[in-house]
Structure 1
Amino acid sequence: MTANTSKGIQYPQSTDHTRLWEHYQNLATTADGIIIGNKDVQVFTSNGTWTRPAGAILVDVQVQAGGGGSGGCAATISGQASCAPGGGGGEYARGIFLPATTGASVAVTVGTGGAGGAAGANTGVTGGVSSFGALITCNGGVGAQGGTATSTAVSLGAGNGGTGGTGGDIHINGGDGGNGQVLSATPLKFNSGGNAHLASTTRASGISSTTTGGFAGYPYGGGGSGPSNGASQSAVVGSAGAGGVVIVTTYTA
């Protein structure tokens, strides 16, 4: 007679008179079913369904939410400037699960990047939530407020990084965007887009006394940087954040 360990490896008992080579064969066969020998990687950049591969042993899930859009900039007249803040980066999480926990399939949601604010002092859109079923949820970076036209010093707060998600083994907040600042009718260039765990910071708008557009957030989950205006310029649209991603690596027998 044989018995099994708690992890499924078969071994002989004292009353078992099977030949020794058969014991070794059973041991090798059952061990093969619980030792990692391969992996399956599925990358989702849009909504979909993850299907568990055959022979799954461990499921490693990374979830990145979308980045927030920057604000737009108001039109200016002589002696004015405007500088919109950058959007925040999306939240990231990671969790490792047993196949019994995930089940045979899981609905995957990938957060889109938040749109930039419309031309004028308009707020950018917050990045979308990304999730792996109910097991992990991450929140998008916050869209930044718009840049108002002013002839005096002003500092406008940027979009906060995504935070407050649930599930998984670790969560990393998205980075905050850079502030939109004007000093004596001159826009200052600190309005970078917030970083995410899977994306670098997007640089601030370039140096110019006229109009400078922001830059879209970097994949995956980076916030968009803000535009700026010097004197006597038209309103400017904000920059979009980058969409998120869900990466599922299944280690199989």
Structure 2
Amino acid sequence: MGTTSKGIVFPDNTSNTRIWELMQTLAESADALIIGNIDRQTFTSSGTWIRPAGAIRIFVQVQAAGGGSGGVPATTSGQAACAPGGGAGEYAEGWFTPATTSASVAVTVGAGGAGGAAGSNSGSDGGGSSFGALITCLGGGGSGGGTVTSANTSIGGANGGGGGTGGDLRISGGDGGNGQVISAVPVKYNHGGNAYLAGIRRASGVATTTTTGFDGRLYGGGASGPANGATQAAVAGSTGGPGVVIVTTYTA
């Protein structure tokens, strides 16, 4: 009996088996290589992936978490403040064979970056996500805090995540939008950065009083920042969207 490079058994000139037995062997060996079922495991927290029985190919999607937005300080008459948005987390995906993944793989899911405390305080970076050492993704950057001003100003948003390793496709997270104040009115041009698995997190419009930011969208989006009009208390930033790891296994 002979065997192809993909494991299908076939009769050759050394075979003395009856034809129906040859056909049965051929069918059984081919059946083990034909996809019959799909197993999908979605990790929203860290854990361990166990390879399903009969695995043929494994498709892994890894999304890192988004960054938190900064806070804004208290204001007095004629002042305003606006914090920028946090950056989104990096995304990557890849195909693997059972031999490449081994029987189990440690999965890490990044937590969304915390918002900055009330005042001119920076938000935290989003946590990285990974599928063992096969794919790693970095979280989005937390944004800086807003500053009090009575003039036009723009404060840069945070960078999206980037710089991980592995996978067949890699997409950096979107940058957080700038926080802008125009004529002492905090116009929130900022937004939370968009991730591959999450849309942009909008900011509210013109604020003569106080507007809080919004938490980053699932999965991996950056948080939008808060804003203060005149004579308002300090406001804390918002939390970035958490990451996720999705493992889809095609089985016999």
- Partner residue, 1:60: 59
Q: Give distance in 1, aligned partners of 2:145 and 2:92.
A: 29
State the Cα deviation string for residues 18-71 of structure 1 (Å, max 9, x = none).
221111111100001111111110000001000000111111000000000011
Task: Report whether the alignment pairs 1:161 with 2:160.
Answer: yes
- Partner residue, 2:134: 135
Using the size of structure 1 for normalisation, the TM-score is 0.98
- Partner residue, 2:50: 51
Q: Give distance in 1, aligned partners of 2:45 and 2:5.
A: 39
Deviation at 1:194, TM superposition (A): 0.5
- Partner residue, 2:250: 251
- Partner residue, 1:223: 222
Equivalent residues, number: 252
Q: Give distance in 2, aligned partners of 1:193 and 1:129.
A: 17
Q: Give distance in 1, aligned partners of 2:104 and 2:10.
A: 33
**Stretch of structure 1 that moved more, 199-208 or 70-79:** 199-208
SS at match of 2:186: strand
Deviation at 1:15, TM superposition (A): 2.9
The answer as to whether partners of 2:80 and 2:149 remain within 8 angstroms in 1 is: yes
Task: Report whether the alignment pairs 1:70 with 2:69.
Answer: yes
> Alpha carbon RMSD of aligned pairs, Å?
0.8
The answer as to whether partners of 1:192 and 1:205 remain within 8 angstroms in 2 is: no
SS at match of 1:114: coil
State the Cα deviation string for residues 223-253 of structure 1 (Å, max 9, x = none).
1000000001000000100100000001111
**Stretch of structure 1 that moved more, 3-12 or 243-252:** 3-12
Deviation at 1:3, TM superposition (A): 1.6
SS at match of 1:58: strand
Using the size of structure 2 for normalisation, the TM-score is 0.98
Q: Give distance in 1, aligned partners of 2:237 and 2:159.
A: 16
Q: Mark the runs of 5 or more structure 2 residues left unpaired by the alignment.
A: none
Aligned-residue sequence identity (percent) comes to 68
Following superposition of structure 1 onto structure 2, how do residues 62-211 of structure 1 map, counting pairs within 5 Å? 62-211=61-210
